[in-house]
């Protein structure tokens, strides 16, 4: 701004011309439900714990077999 001049004032927009059209509303998807067990009740904490135990057991079995194979290969080289 130069010395002695005041800032410009904004002009008020015309009612129809300056306002952009409103965007169309976006549909909101409904929240997904958890999978249900055959009895019709949602998965309970004990069901989740049972699944975790099975997965951990399978991983431990796999690791045990892998260790057995590796140890047999090392014995064969010696």
Say if residue 8's pLDDT is above 80. no
Alpha carbon 66 to its chain centroid, in Å, reads: 33
The reported pLDDT for the residue numbered 76 is: 84
Three-state DSSP state, 3: coil
Are 52 and 58 within 8 A, CB to CB? no
Which is higher by pLDDT, 3 or 8? 8
The reported pLDDT for the residue numbered 40 is: 61
Distances 39 to 15, 27, 33 between C-alpha atoms, Å: 60, 33, 16
CA dist., res. 32 & res. 66, Å (int):
40
pLDDT tens-digit series, residues 27-77 = 777 777 655 555 666 668 888 889 999 999 999 999 999 999 999 998 887
The reported pLDDT for the residue numbered 7 is: 75
pTM: 0.41
Average pLDDT (3-15) is 70
């Amino acid at each position: 701004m130069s010395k002695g001049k005041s800032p410009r004032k904004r002009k008020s927009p015309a009612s129809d011309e300056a306002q952009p059209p409103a965007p169309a509303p976006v549909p909101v998807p409904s929240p997904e439900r958890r999978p249900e067990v055959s009895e019709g009740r949602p998965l309970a904490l004990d069901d989740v714990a049972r699944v975790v135990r099975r997965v951990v057991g399978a991983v431990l079995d796999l690791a045990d077999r892998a260790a057995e194979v590796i140890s047999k290969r090392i014995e064969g080289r010696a």
